[in-house]
Structure 1
Amino acid sequence: METTEFDGRTALVTGGARGIGAAVALRLAEGGADVAFTYQHDGAAAEAVAGKISGMGRGALALRADSGDPAAIEDAVDRAAAEWGRLDVLVNNAGTYAVGPIADLGAAAFDRSVAVNVRGPYLAARAASRHMRAGGRIISIGSNVADRTTFPGHTLYALTKTALAGMTKGLARDLGPLGITVNLLHPGPTDTDANPADGPYADTVRGFTALGRYAAADEIAAVVAHLASDAASYVTGAVVHADGGFTV
């Protein structure tokens, strides 16, 4: 097997069975990493992603876990580290997308959104830091709406994704002495099952980007892979945009 950029490294991707998360898991495996990933509901999709990773000759571990459950997300990190005796990369991708009029989104929606989109990444990073050596990478997936909330109904979602910027900067300072980098990636509109490029609002959304198109999930995964690589060893506390110019 040829030597590749992530040979000998291990990764955990939360929400890795579909969309951007699946693309990230497969990209890291293509680079040589053994990859664990979490999923919540779609066992068939998780099995398919694990099969593709195994087919590359890499280790694969699918873990059912709700990122809104503190014990479940910390256990997933610990199990991933135990599987291969180390953890080098954590990608916080799992999220929930609660949108609608603010009058319709009360305490329950707020608590669930914060639990999954903010507390989950924080606890996963906290748990991962116990296993990581110098050279560890923590990357969270945010959203372009954190910097440009173009449409009504995104208050709660934008709030949670904006919180990740502060978390990223704080963790970068806390974990820098350990040689661990922490970064945040804000994707723009990306063609996935949940947000298809041929959806009912896609033409309007495309019009807000400078490139006039949606990203492929692989394009977002490529940026994650760069942040996880040795080439990004001096990048930490950064908020990186891969949004096709949505926020320019």
Structure 2
Amino acid sequence: MIWTQLAIRDVETWVAEPQSRPPAPNYRLAGLDEVHERLDHIHQARNVRIREPSCTMEIRRRRSPKDDEPQATVSLAYELGTWMDGRELRPSVGPPLRKGAKAPPPEIPNVGRADLWSWETSIDTIPCVGPGGRVTVYSLPGMTLADITTRYRTARIESRWRSPRDIATEIDGITRGEFFEVRVLGTFGYYEASKYEGQRYLRTAFVFVVDRPSVATEGPRWRVSFAVSATESDDIPPDEGLGSASGNCL
């Protein structure tokens, strides 16, 4: 994720910047049966396990000594991240793939003891933010593991932008009036929960990290991370789709 450092007084102006474009739609997300039905159209889907309650996916594939390349798992994970939901994937880390592999070669070779491939996802050029919204493949001795923490969208729901003033007011409530002492980082995108959380809707949000350095006369340092919805729709509650990130630590 790309973060922007902000002063409290600049939050309202910053959250207004995405509103120069039409409001991004919200989406209803598939349930377990719908994901299974979609997977039936993907070759090698028998190697994929669907997690509950999040309806995200994982692949665990043991390899024999003669089958020491993880390319099949990498390609399948990439396919699930694109064809399954029509997203764009941007490589963030990983070793080059062999010639003829389906996925584009990420640029950074080798991370620690295991090979690692990782892609961040976006929808109509808007990045997915939060713990989810990414595809990651780990190549370990004798095994390849893949986390596909993306969800399948089934219905588009029109939305409208929220008032920048209302969003900034939520930040003011967190900082408790500590105007100069706190530091704020912000990012914008489709909020996607972790692989451990259920999620019924996908919506754009502003994610903030707010902290205050330790001040001897005013108590210890504190830090909170939370998501605030960027849009609203008539049929969706204001915090629906943000899960535990709504007004709480991520």
What TM-score do the two structures reach when normalised by structure 2? Answer: 0.24
Between structures 1 and 2, the one with greater strand share: 2
Between structures 1 and 2, the one with greater helix share: 1
Larger relative contact order (Cα-Cα within 8 Å, sequence gap ≥ 6): 2
What TM-score do the two structures reach when normalised by structure 1? Answer: 0.24
- Highest Rg: 1 or 2? 2
